[in-house]
Amino acid sequence: MRSEVSKIASKISELEQEVQEHQLVIDTLTPLDEGRKAFRLIGGILVERTVKDVLPDVQQNQTGVQEFLEKLAERMNGLEQQASAWQKKYNIMTPQEQQAQAQQAGQGR
């Protein structure tokens, strides 16, 4: 479970970067004239369009990525809760938790 949480966390990080890149493009295109040429990479092919055509597509893509990001975050939180419950149920401790417990036991003497 922990490895799946780790994979989801790295994917979330990657998608957050993608959202920022989309926002950068939106911020760049917004003040431009709608009739100005704009190029967009679609399926590995560079297509010439106008700002009026490209801007809504980029905004829609950003919204889709953000929605997927939220779903991944929910999934990750659910998996973390399951892993914690499983860890408590079977009394499993990480090496850091074992060290902390040993130090507390040593101080208690």
CATH code of the domain containing 52: 1.10.287.370
pLDDT at residue 71, rounded to an integer: 97
Percent of the chain whose predicted confidence (pLDDT) is above 70: 98
Any domain includes 80:
yes
The three-point CA angle 14-5-104 to 5° equals 125
pLDDT at residue 2, rounded to an integer: 78
Domain count, the chain: 1
Any domain includes 109:
no
Region 24-39: what's the mean pLDDT? 96
Secondary structure class of 108 (helix, strand, coil): coil
Mean pLDDT of the chain: 92
Q: How far is CA 52 from the centre of its chain?
A: 28
pLDDT at residue 101, rounded to an integer: 83
pLDDT at residue 108, rounded to an integer: 63
Q: Is the pLDDT of residue 36 over 80?
A: yes
Residue keyed to tokens 């911020």:
27
